[in-house]
Structure formats: structure tokens, C-alpha cells
Amino acid sequence: MVLDSITGEIAGKVPYQSAVTKRYTFTMQAVNYPATLNELTYTVMLGNWSSTVSYKVGQAVRYPGPGGTIFVYICTKNNLNQVPNAVDSIYWSRGVSTTEKTFFIDIIGEIESAIEWVSDGDLGTIIPNQPSQKFVEARSLRYGGRVIYDFISGTLPPGLEFLSTGLILGKVRQFEDGNGPGLTRFFERTDSTVDSSTGSRTFTGTYDGGATSFDKIFTFTIKARDSANFSALEKTFTLKVVADNTKTFANLYLKAFQAKSKRLDWFNFITDSFIFRPQEIYRYGDPNFGIQTELKILLYAGIESVSAVKYVQAMSRNHYRKQIKFGNLNYALAKDPVTQETIYEAVYVEVIDEFEKDGKSISQTVQLPDNINSKVLLSYDSIKVDSDIPLVSDSDHQRLFPNSFKNMRKRIQATGERDRSFLPLWMRSIQDRAFVETGYVKALVLCFTNPGYGPALISRIEASDFDFKLIDFTADRYLIDVLNGVIDNKYLAFPQRGEKLP
């Protein structure tokens, strides 16, 4: 558009603009330039006129005369003085004056937006301490369909994070307190004490407005825009946190701590973008899904969160340092429980347990005969809690407690109730050519892919010649994500033993 500097008119036509409002700001200066002789302005004050009137040379002056006669004079410097009834005063100048002002104009794009929201405003519910699979989605009709998301206002549940890709990741951090059982609070307080005998936590302050609530609705607004910022559209969403159970539940993992040189080999492998292609990865950038850069193996999902003492007592048997061995690559489908449509695929390395065969484990307790030819060596580290560990100083009690996965899981299961919904979805799904759910799988998960990409990714891993036998995975502790009702990662070390069969 252009501005006519004489008339002040803005003329022209704005070209195509997508559905977004753009503001244009400009500053104009009005100037009274030095006049030429023909541009002089005369100010005439006539005796029978009620006001001062300004005329320019060449301008027609209409003046009412006697009997309704209208006199018309063409102004010149000479004849202006001949206007009837005498001139009180005449002023003229060649001075210069200026003034500035800033203007703005909003150009509204096409009424039909090039951005279209797919996600419903109600994002449903989420359970504390379970990985979020929530996301928002919009479509763009231009610029390759790519959409960027901005968090505009509102609040997400504590522990969740919003990415510009539309993903809502993390775990809702909710806590229990003395006002009721279960996860009743959304924000942890440092002004609290824990009863060492019962493990219960008492808070001395208040939060969440001082009101206990088992669920809460969070509202927030997201803007979706295309990569060129030509179209943008906002939408408000709600997400409800629901903690129906009066108990809290934890997940236990085995975690590896490798030497620096081997850590580098693993890092180079797991970050190879040719093998792990971002466009094929489910929830890329989400540490709970995406690519699993951390070496850890799920041992038990959804066990009741109790005090550390109870876990340590359970770990007093069938738990000691264990060298993890790996087998074949595999993948599994995670299916929607209602529609049975595949949501994602888990790509993992099978874990081989020397104490398990064909799905069966060695006994939790192995009684050795008295007439063995070699000594059975057992050594216990000092355990600083009461436990029912059998003493081995008596030669009549020659018992071993093999640390198979099943034996370890049985010991942990005895600590409390179980919530099966914490088991990963791919372990709760019926695989193709199967009739029952998979159930718990001993696995080192490498990544999660979008549906249909698991086999291709496995073929690229096999072509890379990465040797999983080089991974030094020595399990000597648990990583637990909820302890004493507080959602926070903690370590529980195994009581180290040395046991050798004859």
C-alpha cells in the first residue's frame, strides 16, 4: 500500500495473508514547507466577518453584498486589499513548521484459518506417577503441514512439561500427607517429618490452598502456528489428575553403571540418527518413551510404595550383585485397550537369566547336602535394619538364595499390593498371533517407534554390528521412583554376597 503525500490517503490492496492479524506501525510528519510567492497564505480579518479566514493566492473569495448579491474575488496580493468593508489586518509568512504522529493499522488475514485443531479441548485424565502420553495436535494447510506449539497461559499439573512439538511429558508429582491416605497433595513441602517406625509423613505447613483433594482440573492455553507465522490459532485445554487409589505405587528398575570407555560406546550407538531416525520414533524427545539413552531394566511395575525398611528386608534374600546377559533383538506392539489399534512399538534386547529356562526359575531356596566336597562361601554386608536373614555360621544351614529375576520379583511382590496398570502398555497388549497378554518381559528397551517401524529399526541395528555383549550391566541396586509416598528417584543397594556352587 502507498501513501499520497498531498492528500494523506492510503491507497492500494494488501496481498494474500493467512489467518493471522498483523500490525503495521508507521510515523508521519506533516510539514509546512517554505512558500513560494504563489503559495503565500493571507489571513484576512474583515470588519463585518465573525472570524478570521485564511486564503491562498488564486482562491475564490465569496462575499455577500447588498440585496443578496454575491461578490466573488480571486485573490492576489494586490486585489485582496480591495475586499469591501475594509480590511482590519492582513498577515502572511514564509515560515516552516512540522509535527509528527505515529499510526498503526491491523491487517486481518483470511477469515478461514489455515490452522485447524485436531485435539479436543478435554484431554481426559492422568494418574500420578505414570508417564504422560498426552499431547495436543493441530493441522496446517500450508508450509508442509508443520505446526509449532507455544504455551500461552495457564498451569500444567506439577511434574509435566510442554514441548513445542505438542508433547506433554513427565509424571504428575503428587504426594501423600497426614490429612488422608493416598496421593492427596500436588506440591511437596520441605517442612515435614517422617516417623521412622511407621514411615508416615507429617506436614507442618499447608499448600494447595490448604485443601486436600484427590483430583484437580488444570487449564491452559496453547497456540498452534505454522513455521512461517502466517497462521496461528489458540485453544484452551483441560487435564484432570485422578488419584482414585488410597495407596501409592512404585516402579523398580535395575540400572547399569559402566566404565567411561564403555559408556562412550553405548552413547555413540544410541544417539546414531541413522539407526534411530527421529521421524520414526514415538514421542521423540520424551525420556519416558522416545529413545532410551539410560541403561535400565524394569524389574517390577506398580508395587505398593512402602518404607525403605520393608524393601531392604525383602532384598535380604535372592538379591545380590548380578551380571546381566543379553540375547536377541525383538519388538512388541502396544495396543489401545479399547480399539486394539497399535499406538507404538517397543524395540528391546532380550535379557538372558542363567537361573531361568523355558519360563521356569530355579527355586528361591537351594538346600545343599551336608557331604559336599567344597565349602559354600557366603558373606553378608552389614545391614542396618532388623531382618530375618538366616545365619550361615551354622554348618547345618547350608542354603543358597539364587538371584533369578523371578525370585527377585517374588520377594518384592511380598512387600505389598500391586497395581497392574503401571505395567507398560506393550506388556499388557495381546501380540499378533497370540491369545493372551504378554505380561512382564525381561528386557532392555532401546526405543519406542511409531506403528510399523519396529522391524526396520531392528534391521538397521543388526547391520550396525553393535555388540550388546560389550555392555557391562552389573546390577547391584534398585532405582525406585516412589518411596515413603514421595515421587522421587532413590537407590536401594543390594546386600552384597558371594555365593559359589560346588
| pLDDT tens track for 285-316 | 999 999 999 999 999 999 988 888 899 999 99
Q: For residues 121-141, give the mean pLDDT.
A: 92
φ, ψ of residue 161 in degrees (nearest 5) = -135, 140
Q: How many folded domains does the chain comprise?
A: 4
Residue among 168, 194, 201 nearest 283 (CA) = 168
Q: Could you tell me if residue 390 is inside a domain?
A: no
254 and 311 share one domain? yes
Query: Quick check: 137 and 166 in contact, CB under 8 A?
Result: yes
**Which of 187, 213, 246 lies at the terminal end of a domain, its last residue?**
246
Pairing assessment for the beta strands 147-154 and 168-170 based on DSSP bridges: unpaired
91 and 125 share one domain? no
423 and 318 share one domain? yes
Q: Could you tell me if residue 387 is inside a domain?
A: no
Task: Answer yes or no: is pLDDT of 78 > 70.
Answer: no
122 and 142 share one domain? yes
343 and 231 share one domain? no
Instruction: Considering only residues 185 and 449, tell me which one the structure prediction assigns the higher pLDDT.
Output: 449
Q: How confident is the model at residue 452 (pLDDT cuts 50, 70, 90)?
A: very high
220 and 268 share one domain? no
The pLDDT score that the predictor gives to residue 300 is 97
268 and 237 share one domain? no
Q: Which amino acid is at 444?
A: L
Alpha helices by DSSP H, 325-453 = 405-413
Q: Could you tell me if residue 347 is inside a domain?
A: yes
pLDDT in tens, 408-425: 999 999 999 999 999 999
- The pTM for the full model equals 0.68
Query: Quick check: 361 and 385 in contact, CB under 8 A?
Result: no
Range of weakest confidence among 229-233, 269-273, 413-417: 229-233
Residue 170, sorted as left (phi over 0), alpha (psi -120 to 50) or beta, turns out to be: left
Q: For residues 184-205, give the mean pLDDT.
A: 53
333 and 195 share one domain? no
Name the average pLDDT for the chain: 78
**First-residue to last-residue Cα distance in the chain:** 94
d(CA 7, CA 166): 50
343 and 230 share one domain? no
CATH no. for residue 495? 3.90.1140.10
pLDDT in tens, 251-270: 999 998 888 888 889 999 99
Task: Answer yes or no: is pLDDT of 237 > 80.
Answer: yes
Q: Which amino acid is at 497?
A: R
Q: How far is CA 443 from the centre of its chain?
A: 26
Instruction: Considering only residues 222 and 204, tell me which one the structure prediction assigns the higher pLDDT.
Output: 222
**Which of 246, 278, 310 lies at the terminal end of a domain, its last residue?**
246
Domain range for 118 is 113-246
The pLDDT score that the predictor gives to residue 20 is 67
The pLDDT score that the predictor gives to residue 65 is 62
141 and 228 share one domain? yes
187 and 264 share one domain? no
Q: Could you tell me if residue 154 is inside a domain?
A: yes
Q: Could you tell me if residue 360 is inside a domain?
A: no
Task: Kindly tell me the sign of the dihedral angle through the C-alpha atoms of 169, 181, 189, 219.
Answer: positive
Q: Could you tell me if residue 450 is inside a domain?
A: yes
CATH no. for residue 162? 2.60.40.10
d(CA 90, CA 52): 10
Q: Could you tell me if residue 358 is inside a domain?
A: no
The proportion of the chain whose per-residue pLDDT surpasses 70, expressed as a percent, equals 67
User: Where is mean pLDDT largest: 41-55, 61-75, 255-269, 295-309?
Assistant: 295-309
Q: Could you tell me if residue 381 is inside a domain?
A: no
Instruction: Considering only residues 51 and 417, tell me which one the structure prediction assigns the higher pLDDT.
Output: 417
The pLDDT score that the predictor gives to residue 473 is 93
The pLDDT score that the predictor gives to residue 69 is 62
**Which of 95, 121, 138 lies at the terminal end of a domain, its last residue?**
95
Task: Answer yes or no: is pLDDT of 458 > 90.
Answer: yes
23 and 152 share one domain? no
